[in-house]
Amino acid sequence: MARGEGDGLEGGGTKDGRAVGSVWEASGASERVGKEEARSQIASTDIAAEHISNPRTRHSLKTQMPAPPASAGNLLFLQLLHESNMPSVTTPPRTLYDKVLEYHIVDERDDGTLLLYIDRHLVHEVTSPQAFEGLRNASRKVRRPDCTLATTDHNVPTTTRKNFKDVGSFVEEQDSRTQCVTLEENVKAFGLTYFGLGDKRQGIVHIIGPEQGFTLPGTTVVCGDSHTSTHGAFGSLAFGIGTSEVEHVLATQTLITKRSKNMKVQVDGELAPGVSSKDIVLYVIGQIGTAGGTGAVIEFCGSAIRGLSMEARMSICNMSIEGGARAGMIAPDQTTFDYLKGRPLSPKYDSPEWKRAVTHWNSLKTDEGAKFDIEVNIDAKDIAPTISWGTSPQDVVAITGVVPGPDDFSTPAAKEACIRALKYMGLTAGTPMQDVVLDKVFIGSCTNARIEDLRAAARVVEGKKVAANIKRALIVPGSGLVKKQAEDEGLDKIFVDAGFEWREAGCSMCLGMNPDILSPQERCASTSNRNFEGRQGAGGRTHLMSPVMAAACALVGKLADVRKVASAAHVSPAKASPKIDVGDAHVEDVLDDEDLDRILDAPESDNDEVQTKAPAVGGMPPFTQLKGIAAPMEQSNIDTDAIIPKQFLKTIKRSGLGTALFNGWRYDPATGKDEPDFILNKDPYRNSKILVAGPNFGCGSSREHAPWALLDFGIKCIIAPSYADIFFNNTFKNGMLPLNLEGEAYEKVLAEAKAGREIEVDLPAQTIKSADGTDLAKFEVESFRKHCLVNGLDDIGLTMQLEAKIKKFEKRRTEDTPWLDGSGYLKRDRNGAVKIEAVPVPKTNRGETKEEPLEW
């Protein structure tokens, strides 16, 4: 809940810690379609507030949770019929998420494990090196280079590229350079389309996908990056994955996953001047908490969302991950189609293919009467310009408010978290937010570095000057094309005249993996998405906000209310999606029949049997019983930035990260010596094999470096009430066991951990015992995951045994959505450092194009 409201702002919400009434609504039982209907029994559960929402609030709601799997069943994927994904008269109403998910199911196990086809795979330098290494070690190829797009963004300096020759000489910092160079070697070796630093299309991975029309409605989109949720603004199912999953997608173009809950966030009404989509999403996260969307895909809807431009919608979906959700989605509409017109990888505007695509895209909406597991309703007029005060994206307050204190929170854990956040942020409870003095301003990141963001910020600063106390104010366009467009419009001049630095595209100060960082204790107004401890640089203090608010802060030198700095006319959100020049090539211009024959020439098989020549299933060390010391760390919301800070993400290996584990907490920053009070520095916990953690463990970034660091330290099992989805998946991929335990069972295990006694986790028996053999707890684990862990199976090998089913899906995809095959760049002149030739992909039958447009 946004704190500090109710102090003069019209409709300001209630104080944190009080029930919100109509904001939360319970929904009826969720329904599944077709075969899922029979299988999926829905258990109605009353969930106490702290399990689902902001642990610093105490809303309560009734939600619907899928029942645990009924039986272990077959350990191989079942042969199930998927022809029934098309709607029929008997199909119950479905959500947008259900429709996109169900269309892409290649196979399904009886424990609900899905093999999902991935239409679009974005790749960047941080989370891909180990994946490519895995492919090389197993002599595997990239299955669909035409559906894969790579760029470099996190490590790149944002200084001028006027004298750019190659990435090896341009990136000075050694580890950053290694990651960038490694990506270039990999895209060459595996034949991938790549926008390098010499290419004006280079930029933040979540900016370039939509910009190029690579992201299209109804597709599945993944990337080894948590903010892949951004692409859901197009009505695609887009989510972040870990590096092992990146390898899985590269090798198989599929992902092993499971259904998420359906969650609806409906925002109705008019946004007040000065309030933007960033304020909406910060407000929503304040309401639901960083774990509010855990296990769910959020559909954002309502008149306020409909009224937003595509770019504003992207900012909302981008931060779904900060609300704990697997993905965020918005149904495509005319605004979406207008945005996609003329993009290089969209079907050519007004062509028969475009018309067919639009008919198909128009069917991508939640059916009337479809049920959501969780519903949140928000009135747009309750949303003020919103900023963060603490070290979690849920720590938000209206700009007119004051810094909250522990008394504003109800639970001991929330009070403690508040005290810790205030200390880190150097703030005193009760201070008016607008009295807080800033050092730096950063306008950039995949949340807010699009042309519309820059235009909005420029309108606020035009003709004015950055305050004298601001040491640096950075404008970092999200891509080379955004930068060029802004320069064509003269925005760069407005910013430079006002005293801002005008930079090149990249992630920049969003996470400080490149030279743009905060110094310790520096305070920054930032349009990025995370305010975790150390996020923008060790000891740095981040306040999240919208671009117009950051622009106002730069002018005032303190946290500022844009409504006092600029007139209403200057801060009204743009209604239409702004156009930028993305070049004039369309798929049809660059991809003719000859190209298609060439790239779709692999032998096709209708044989649905598991292929006899399928590769052998590889191995990981099996997980059976694990006995050892368990370290208690029951603090809520421990994020992956804390588990392993950004400076350790620059490795291209999976090993050797044990010393980096909890680096910011484990060592004194001044001396580098062990912090004696940190749990893993104390005996007997130095030798822990198990971690007993708090709720929402592993939230934030998708970095698989977090489980790698835990594993390298010696921790193979984590026991917690709940986890962030991506972290949970990542641990399994590394032969680790994350266990969900709550209530009395959790308390018993925690007590043993606190007493420094060993416990034994027995995966085959699904029990936890104390050192003397006393039963402490029983636990649930999905049968497929258990099978893989106990037998040490590599799931890429397992998936490759389903080659015939994957090909069958691809054939259907080509018939239904032919615009998704092939790369639109095959014949383009390339400015980038890497020239890519067309490479073969599995043949699908393009001959049988359907007359009827696809309806989902």
Ligand X SMILES: CC(C)[C@H](C(=O)O)[C@@H](O)C(=O)O
Q: Pick one of 151, 257, 528, 729: the residue that binds ligand SF4 (CB under 6 A).
A: 528
For the chain, give the longest Cα–Cα distance. 74
Taking the complex as a whole, how short is the minimal distance between the CB of residue 248 and ligand SF4, in angstroms? 21
* H helix intervals, 111-242: 129-137, 167-170, 174-190, 205-212
Nearer to ligand SF4, 528 or 577 (CB): 528
273 binds ligand X (CB under 6 A): no
Q: Phi first, then psi: what are they for 826, rounded to 5°?
A: -55, -40
785 binds ligand X (CB under 6 A): no
Q: Phi first, then psi: what are they for 432, rounded to 5°?
A: -60, 135
Q: Pick one of 360, 503, 586, 703: the residue that binds ligand X (CB under 6 A).
A: 703
Using CB under 6 A as the binding rule, the residues of this chain from 409 to 448 that contact ligand SF4 are 445-446
Among ligand X, ligand SF4, none, what does residue 445 contact (CB within 5–8 Å per kind)? ligand SF4
- Select the span of 95-103, 355-363, 504-512, 725-733 touching ligand SF4 (CB under 6 A): 504-512
Give the CA distances from residue 450 to residues 207, 230, 344, 746, in Å, rounded to whole numbers and listed in that order. Answer: 7, 12, 18, 45
* DSSP H or E segment with residue 376: strand 374-379
Q: How far apart are CA 655 and CA 33, in angstroms?
A: 43
Taking the complex as a whole, how short is the minimal distance between the CB of residue 522 and ligand SF4, in angstroms? 18
- Select the span of 329-337, 558-566, 572-580, 700-708 touching ligand X (CB under 6 A): 700-708
Tokens read off for 163: 């004298």
Nearer to ligand SF4, 236 or 529 (CB): 529
- Select the span of 420-428, 503-511, 592-600, 804-812 touching ligand SF4 (CB under 6 A): 503-511
Please say whether the beta carbons of 327 and 320 come within 8 A. Answer: yes
Q: Count residues contacting ligand SF4 (CB under 6 A)?
A: 13
Please say whether the beta carbons of 418 and 557 come within 8 A. Answer: no
- Encode 45-64: b = buried (16+ Cβ within 10 Å), e = exposed: eeeebbbbbbbbbbbbbebb
555 binds ligand SF4 (CB under 6 A): no
Q: How far apart are CA 360 and CA 640, in angstroms?
A: 38
Using CB under 6 A as the binding rule, the residues of this chain from 212 to 231 that contact ligand SF4 are 225, 227
Q: Count residues contacting ligand X (CB under 6 A)?
A: 12
- The pattern of x and - marking residues 634 through 653 that bind ligand X according to CB under 6 A reads ---------------x----
Using CB under 6 A as the binding rule, the residues of this chain from 490 to 529 that contact ligand X are 511
Residues whose CB falls within 8 Å of the CB of residue 755, separated by 6 or more in sequence, listed in order: none
Taking the complex as a whole, how short is the minimal distance between the CB of residue 152 and ligand SF4, in angstroms? 11
3-state secondary structure 442-499: EECCCCCCCHHHHHHHHHHHCCCCCCCCCCEEEECCCEHHHHHHHHHCCHHHHHHHHC
Q: Dihedral of CA 311/313/315/317: which sign?
A: negative
Taking the complex as a whole, how short is the minimal distance between the CB of residue 446 and ligand X, in angstroms? 8
Q: Residue 518: helix, strand or coil by DSSP?
A: coil
Q: Pick one of 114, 280, 461, 511: the residue that binds ligand SF4 (CB under 6 A).
A: 511
Beta bridge pairs of residue 105: 116
Please say whether the beta carbons of 265 and 299 come within 8 A. Answer: yes
Taking the complex as a whole, how short is the minimal distance between the CB of residue 649 and ligand X, in angstroms? 6
The residue type at 200: K
817 binds ligand X (CB under 6 A): no
Nearer to ligand X, 498 or 509 (CB): 509
Nearer to ligand X, 126 or 548 (CB): 126
- The pattern of x and - marking residues 145 through 184 that bind ligand SF4 according to CB under 6 A reads --------xx------------------------------
Q: Pick one of 95, 226, 244, 320: the residue that binds ligand X (CB under 6 A).
A: 226
538 binds ligand SF4 (CB under 6 A): no
Taking the complex as a whole, how short is the minimal distance between the CB of residue 173 and ligand X, in angstroms? 16
Q: Pick one of 240, 273, 324, 385: the residue that binds ligand X (CB under 6 A).
A: 240
* DSSP H or E segment with residue 327: strand 327-329
Q: Pick one of 2, 106, 204, 312: the residue that binds ligand SF4 (CB under 6 A).
A: 204
Nearer to ligand SF4, 225 or 247 (CB): 225
Q: Dihedral of CA 591/597/603/607: which sign?
A: positive
DSSP states of 385-452: PEEE-SSSTT-EEETTSB---GGG--SHHHHHHHHHHHHHHT--TT-BGGG-B-SEEEE-TTTS-SHH
- Select the span of 506-514, 620-628, 716-724, 762-770 touching ligand SF4 (CB under 6 A): 506-514
Q: Is 451 left (phi over 0), alpha (psi -120 to 50) or beta?
A: alpha
Taking the complex as a whole, how short is the minimal distance between the CB of residue 552 and ligand SF4, in angstroms? 22
Among ligand X, ligand SF4, none, what does residue 703 contact (CB within 5–8 Å per kind)? ligand X
- Select the span of 100-108, 180-188, 293-301, 696-704 touching ligand X (CB under 6 A): 696-704
Q: How far apart are CA 196 and CA 152, in angstroms?
A: 6
- Select the span of 160-168, 505-513, 557-565, 773-781 touching ligand SF4 (CB under 6 A): 505-513
Tokens read off for 835: 């020239």
507 binds ligand SF4 (CB under 6 A): yes
Using CB under 6 A as the binding rule, the residues of this chain from 146 to 185 that contact ligand X are 154
Among ligand X, ligand SF4, none, what does residue 204 contact (CB within 5–8 Å per kind)? ligand SF4
Please say whether the beta carbons of 360 and 813 come within 8 A. Answer: no
Q: Residue 232: helix, strand or coil by DSSP?
A: helix
Nearer to ligand SF4, 151 or 783 (CB): 151
Q: How far apart are CA 734 and CA 710, in angstroms?
A: 10
- Select the span of 221-229, 408-416, 467-475, 807-815 touching ligand X (CB under 6 A): 221-229
- Encode 113-131: b = buried (16+ Cβ within 10 Å), e = exposed: bbbbbbbbbbbbbbbbbbb
Q: 147: buried, middle or exposed (CB in 10 Å: 19+, 13-18, 0-12)?
A: buried
Q: Pick one of 130, 219, 529, 651: the residue that binds ligand SF4 (CB under 6 A).
A: 529
- The pattern of x and - marking residues 346 through 385 that bind ligand SF4 according to CB under 6 A reads ----------------------------------------
Nearer to ligand SF4, 218 or 645 (CB): 645
Taking the complex as a whole, how short is the minimal distance between the CB of residue 319 and ligand X, in angstroms? 11
Q: How far apart are CA 408 and CA 540, in angstroms?
A: 25
- Select the span of 177-185, 576-584, 699-707, 795-803 touching ligand X (CB under 6 A): 699-707
Q: How far apart are CA 469 and CA 544, in angstroms?
A: 19
- The pattern of x and - marking residues 119 through 138 that bind ligand X according to CB under 6 A reads -------xx-----------
Among ligand SF4, ligand X, none, what does residue 528 contact (CB within 5–8 Å per kind)? ligand SF4
| Contact residues for ligand X, defined by CB under 6 A | 126-127, 154, 225-227, 240, 511, 649, 701-703
| Contact residues for ligand SF4, defined by CB under 6 A | 153-154, 204, 206, 225, 227, 445-446, 507, 510-511, 528-529
